[in-house]
Amino acid sequence: MSSNIKIRLVCVYCHAAFTAKTTVTKFCSKKCNSAAYKSGVRAVKIEAAEGKMIAAKNSRIEGIKLKDFLTVRDVATLLNCSLRTTYRLIDEGKIPAVNFSQRKLTISRKHIDNMFATEAEISSSLPIEQNNTASPDIADCYSLTEIERIFNLSSKAVYDLIKKNNIPKLKRGWYTYVPKISIHKILRHDESNVTK
């Protein structure tokens, strides 16, 4: 028994208006039906391939995390940047690397991990009595950049110095300050010998 229903619908695939004989019809023709099916199969295959690619990348990153010493390519993968950027960071001294031979640069993973030590991690390592003391005046403090410039230290060396010696820090906006007197005691510099 044929249906007498005639209803105007829009094709799900080509978005053209057509007259359907049932309320559940989705496509205007067999051609649109086949094309939509093939498009769905293609989308499933693409999604599966992308899932495999992401899984492979994640397994590579997990493998890198198990290494103690990294290649430049490993560091570029961890930092999600290009090889050229990684080499530039090494040349600028921002990433410490050891050159074992002409074509063998090696980077310690500990250096990479320490680069991302947060202020909270550093300040949580300070003793409670130092965290609770009154904050020094900014005039009596060095910024971390000033310490690097005045004492000719790398940024990692400055962070290590602060962490190792439990030096209290003062955070003001984007900048972190530490008391001059603490730095001078550790580096055994007389304040009069330091160029401003």
CB 80 within 8 A of CB 57: no
Query: Whose CA is closest to 136, among 95, 107, 94, 171?
Result: 171
| CATH node for 122-193 | 1.10.10
What CA–CA distances, in Å, run from 49 to 38, 41, 124?
Answer: 17, 12, 44
Length of the chain: 196
How far, in Å, CA of 80 to CA of 116, rounded?
14
Over pLDDT 90: what percentage of the chain? 21
Q: What is the pLDDT of residues 48-65, one digit of tens each?
A: 999 998 888 888 888 888
128 or 105, higher pLDDT: 105
pLDDT in the model for residue 3? 62
- Mean pLDDT over 157-179 rounds to 83
Domain ranges of the chain: 7-60, 67-113, 122-193
Nearest 5 degrees, angle CA 60-CA 64-CA 66? 120
What CA–CA distances, in Å, run from 178 to 72, 75, 136?
Answer: 33, 31, 8
63 or 117, higher pLDDT: 63
